[in-house]
Amino acid sequence: MRKDLSRVRLTFALCFPDVYEVGMSHVGLRILYHVLNSRPEIAAERVFMPWVDFEQLLRKTATPLFSLENKLPLRSFDIVGFSLQYELTYTNVLAMLELGGVPVLAAERGKDDPLVIAGGPCATNPEPLAPFLDAVVLGDGEEVALDLAQATIEGRERGLPRRDLLRRLADIPGVYVPSLYRAHYDGSRFAGVEPLDGAPQRVVRRIVLDLDAAPFPSAPVVPFVETIHDRVALEIARGCTQGCRFCHAGATYRPVRERSRGVLRRLARESVDSTGYDEISLLSLSTTDYSEIEALCDDLLEEFSGEQVSISLPSLRVDAFSVGLCERVSRVRRSGITLAAEAGTQRLRDVINKRVTDDDIERAACAAFDAGYQQIKLYFMIGLPTEREEDVLGIAETVRRIVRLGRERGAGRRGVIANVSVASFVPKPHTPFQWEAQLPPEELERRQRLVIDNLRTRAVKLSWHDVQQSRLEAIFARGDRRLAQVLLEARRLGLRLDGWTDLFNPGAWEEAFARAGVAPEEYLGEREEDQPLPWDHLSCGVSKDFLLRERRRALAGEPTPDCRRGPCVACGVDCEHLRRADL
C-alpha cells in the first residue's frame, strides 16, 4: 500500500527488528498495518532489519534505512514503532535507529526527530530499552495505536514541545513514557521507580474485549519470497487460561477472548480470495481450547471443500482429542503434529502446572501414529524450577516410550520418529516464575548432555537452544535500566542479529557487560519476594498476589485448574467486570 505522503497528516513506521521473512510472518504487524492504513490521514509503512549484506551496502552508500513502501528514511517518520517479540532483537532496535538516522537516545532527540515507541510481549518489561524509547504501549495495539497517532497529530499540529507531548501521551491508558519515571537503586539493587510530573503510578495494559468488532486484515500483503509462515493466519482467540507457570503469554494476555465462528468463516473466505494462499492456520495460544473448535473446523472444511485449501492447527493441547482434530482437518494436506509436554515427569509437570499426564502424552502420540503420521515433534524444557536429575532423565524416558509406541505402529520406517526440541527455562516477568533463578549455562549444558546421552537412537532427532542465548534472554527479560548501557556497548562492538545462532557472539557480549560495568549474574539469580521488581509499575492485569500464590503452589507441587473449566482462580483480571462494562 503506497499512499501519497503529501496527503497524510502522520507517517508511522512499523519496524520489525528482525529480517523480512520473520517480520512478514507476524500477525500483529499485519493487524497494525491494516488498522493504521484504514485511516486516510495516516500512512503506515514497513521497515525491517537488514541482513548483514544489505546493512553493509546501506553503510557503504550512506543510504539511511528506509521503508518498503515510499522508501522514506526512518528519521523522516513522525512515529517510529518497534515490535518487541524477543529479547535478542534489542540490538537490532538500536541498529535500525542508527541506520535510519534517528538519535538512539530519547534524550537526544529534537523537535524534528520521530517519536520512537515500542509494543509487543517484551514491552511488558521494556526497562533495558527505557532510555531509547519515547513511549511504550502495553497490551493490545488496535485501539491504542490510533490513540497515540491522534494525540501525536494534534500535538504536532499545535506545535507542542516534545516534552509536553510526551506528558500528554502518558495520560493515554496503556501508554508508558519511561522518561517520566526515575529508577532508584540501593547500592547494586534495584529499589523501585518514582513517577515524575504527575505521571500515573501504574500503567495498565490495554485490552480489546470484542475481537469480532476488532479490525482484522483479510487482505494482507502477500510476499513474493517465502516467509516463515507463508499462509493465511487467522487469529481465532486471544489469551489462554491453562495457567502454565513459566508462560509469559498465558499470564499477559488474559482474559480469553474468542472470535465467533461466523466472523471467522467470513474472514477465512475473504483472506483466501484476496491472497490465493492454500493454507489457513488457526492461531491462538491454545487452539483446541477454542470453545467451538470442532464446529469451526467443520465450517471451514465445508467452506473450502474442493478448493485444495488446507487447515492447520498449531499450538495443540497434548491429548488424543487434539490429535484427532488435527487428523480430521488434514484432508488436503497434512501438517506436522507437535506435542509440548514441556517436562519429563509428573512431579515437574505439576510444578509448572502443565496438566497433562503420561497417559495423555502416550494416547496423543498413539493417535498420531495410528492416523499414519510417520514422525511427531516433541517440545521439552530443561532447567525448570525444582528440576532434579530424574526429571531430566524423564525427558529421555518419555521420548523413548513414544518411540517404542511409534515403532509398534510402524511409524518412522527406519528413520526418525521423534523430532525433539529441548529449550532452556527462561524466567519471564509477570509470571509465577518471575522470581526464579536461571541455572548457570554450564549446568544447563550438562543437563542437555544428559538428555542427549540417554537418547542415542536413530529414531530421535534432537535439537536444543544455545545456552548462552538463553542466558542473555533471561538477563534482558528481567532487566532494568542499567542494561541500556550494555546495549550501547554491544552496538559499539558491532553486535546485532543476536537471535541468529551463527551471528551470535557470546565473547563480545561478555566484553559489552564488562565495559558497561554491569555484572550479568546479578540478573540471573533468584529474586526475593519483597524486593521491588523493575516492572512493578507496569500491570498486565494479573495481580502480584496471584503470581505469588501460584509460585507457592508450584514449589509445593500443586497444580491449579484452568478457570474456564473450574472455579475462578482470582488471577486479578476482573474478567466478569470487564465483560459487563463492555456490554
Partner 1 sequence: MVWIVSICVELIFEKGNEVRFLSHLDVARAMERAVRRAKLPVAYSRGYNPRPKLAFASPLPLGVCGSAERAALALSRPMAAREVFAALAPCMPPGLRLKDVVALPNGRKPAYHLLDRADYVVSFPAPLDPPLGQRVAELLARPTLPVARRKGQGWKTVDIRRYIISARATSDTELELTLACGPGGHASPIEVLRALEAYSDDQPMPRIVRTRLYRRAG
Handedness of CA 294, 370, 286, 279 (dihedral sign): negative
Q: Do the Cβ atoms of 315 and 240 come closer than 8 Å?
A: no
Per-residue DSSP letters for 397-458? HHHHHHHHHHHHTTTTTTS--EEEEEEEP---TTSTTTTPPPPPHHHHHHHHHHHHHT---T
276 contacts partner 1 (rule: CB under 8 A): yes
Q: Which three cell numbers stand for residue 202?
A: 501504574
> What is the closest distance, in whole angstroms, from the C-beta atom of residue 269 to partner 1 in the complex?
12
DSSP 288: G
> What is the closest distance, in whole angstroms, from the C-beta atom of residue 309 to partner 1 in the complex?
9
63 contacts partner 1 (rule: CB under 8 A): no
Is the Cβ of residue 48 or residue 277 nearer to partner 1 in the bound state? 277
Per-residue DSSP letters for 231-278? SEEEE-EE---S--TT-HHHHHSPSPEE--HHHHHHHHHHHHHHH--S
Among 227, 274, 374, 531, contact with partner 1 (rule: CB under 8 A): 274
> What is the closest distance, in whole angstroms, from the C-beta atom of residue 226 to partner 1 in the complex?
7
Among 98, 147, 270, 278, contact with partner 1 (rule: CB under 8 A): 278
> What is the closest distance, in whole angstroms, from the C-beta atom of residue 526 to partner 1 in the complex?
49
Please count the residues of this chain forming the interface with partner 1, following the rule CB under 8 A. 15
Among 77, 277, 304, 380, contact with partner 1 (rule: CB under 8 A): 277
> What is the closest distance, in whole angstroms, from the C-beta atom of residue 409 to partner 1 in the complex?
20
> What is the closest distance, in whole angstroms, from the C-beta atom of residue 22 to partner 1 in the complex?
17
Is the Cβ of residue 275 or residue 454 nearer to partner 1 in the bound state? 275
Is the Cβ of residue 270 or residue 522 nearer to partner 1 in the bound state? 270
Among 150, 227, 260, 275, contact with partner 1 (rule: CB under 8 A): 275
Cα separation, 206 vs 107, in Å, equals 26
Specify the pairing of strand 538-539 against strand 203-204.
parallel
Taking CB under 8 A as the criterion, which residues in 299-318 touch partner 1?
A: 308
Q: For 372, left (φ over 0), alpha (ψ -120 to 50), or beta?
A: left
Residue with cell 493465511: 232
Is the Cβ of residue 60 or residue 456 nearer to partner 1 in the bound state? 60
> What is the closest distance, in whole angstroms, from the C-beta atom of residue 308 to partner 1 in the complex?
5
Taking CB under 8 A as the criterion, which residues in 168-227 touch partner 1?
A: 222, 224-226
> What is the closest distance, in whole angstroms, from the C-beta atom of residue 398 to partner 1 in the complex?
29
Note the residue count of the chain: 583
Per-residue DSSP letters for 375-405? -EEEEEEES-TT--HHHHHHHHHHHHHHHHH
CA end-to-end span of the chain: 35
> What is the closest distance, in whole angstroms, from the C-beta atom of residue 26 to partner 1 in the complex?
20
From 84, 70, 92, select the one nearest 124 (Cα to Cα).
84
Only one of the segments 271-279, 369-377, 465-473, 552-560 lies at the binding site for partner 1 (rule: CB under 8 A); that segment is 271-279
Site string for partner 1, 91-120 (x = CB under 8 A): ------------------------------
Q: For 120, left (φ over 0), alpha (ψ -120 to 50), or beta?
A: left
Is the Cβ of residue 60 or residue 580 nearer to partner 1 in the bound state? 60
253 contacts partner 1 (rule: CB under 8 A): no
Only one of the segments 10-18, 191-199, 274-282, 571-579 lies at the binding site for partner 1 (rule: CB under 8 A); that segment is 274-282
Only one of the segments 93-101, 272-280, 414-422, 425-433 lies at the binding site for partner 1 (rule: CB under 8 A); that segment is 272-280
52 contacts partner 1 (rule: CB under 8 A): no
> What is the closest distance, in whole angstroms, from the C-beta atom of residue 408 to partner 1 in the complex?
24
> What is the closest distance, in whole angstroms, from the C-beta atom of residue 95 to partner 1 in the complex?
24
Q: Is 18 exposed, middle or buried (0-12, 13-18, 19+ CB in 10 A)?
A: buried
Is the Cβ of residue 213 or residue 222 nearer to partner 1 in the bound state? 222
Is the Cβ of residue 70 or residue 150 nearer to partner 1 in the bound state? 70
* C-alpha distances out from residue 365 to 338, 356, 411, Å: 10, 13, 11
Only one of the segments 266-274, 293-301, 321-329, 461-469 lies at the binding site for partner 1 (rule: CB under 8 A); that segment is 266-274
From 36, 13, 260, 16, select the one nearest 143 (Cα to Cα).
36
Give me the residues paired with residue 66 across strands: 73
273 contacts partner 1 (rule: CB under 8 A): yes
* C-alpha distances out from residue 242 to 46, 208, 354, Å: 34, 20, 8
Taking CB under 8 A as the criterion, which residues in 316-335 touch partner 1?
A: 332-334
CA atoms lying within 13 Å on the CB side of residue 98: 18
Only one of the segments 259-267, 270-278, 431-439, 492-500 lies at the binding site for partner 1 (rule: CB under 8 A); that segment is 270-278
Q: Which three cell numbers stand for residue 473?
A: 534472554
> What is the closest distance, in whole angstroms, from the C-beta atom of residue 279 to partner 1 in the complex?
10
> What crossing angle do the helices spanning 141-157 and 162-169 adopt, rounded to 10°?
150
> What is the closest distance, in whole angstroms, from the C-beta atom of residue 171 to partner 1 in the complex?
42
Q: Is 48 exposed, middle or buried (0-12, 13-18, 19+ CB in 10 A)?
A: buried
> What is the closest distance, in whole angstroms, from the C-beta atom of residue 156 to partner 1 in the complex?
32
Only one of the segments 95-103, 182-190, 267-275, 466-474 lies at the binding site for partner 1 (rule: CB under 8 A); that segment is 267-275
Q: How many CB atoms lie within 10 A of CB 581?
A: 9
Contact residues for 355 (Cβ-Cβ < 8 A; gap 6+): 242, 349, 559, 561, 562
Taking CB under 8 A as the criterion, which residues in 334-363 touch partner 1?
A: 334
Contact residues for 241 (Cβ-Cβ < 8 A; gap 6+): 250, 254, 255, 256, 562, 563, 564
Only one of the segments 164-172, 275-283, 421-429, 463-471 lies at the binding site for partner 1 (rule: CB under 8 A); that segment is 275-283
Cα separation, 37 vs 221, in Å, equals 12
Site string for partner 1, 404-443 (x = CB under 8 A): ----------------------------------------
> What is the closest distance, in whole angstroms, from the C-beta atom of residue 329 to partner 1 in the complex?
15
Cα separation, 398 vs 400, in Å, equals 5
Is the Cβ of residue 306 or residue 567 nearer to partner 1 in the bound state? 306
Residues of this chain that bind partner 1 (CB under 8 A) = 222, 224-226, 272-278, 308, 332-334
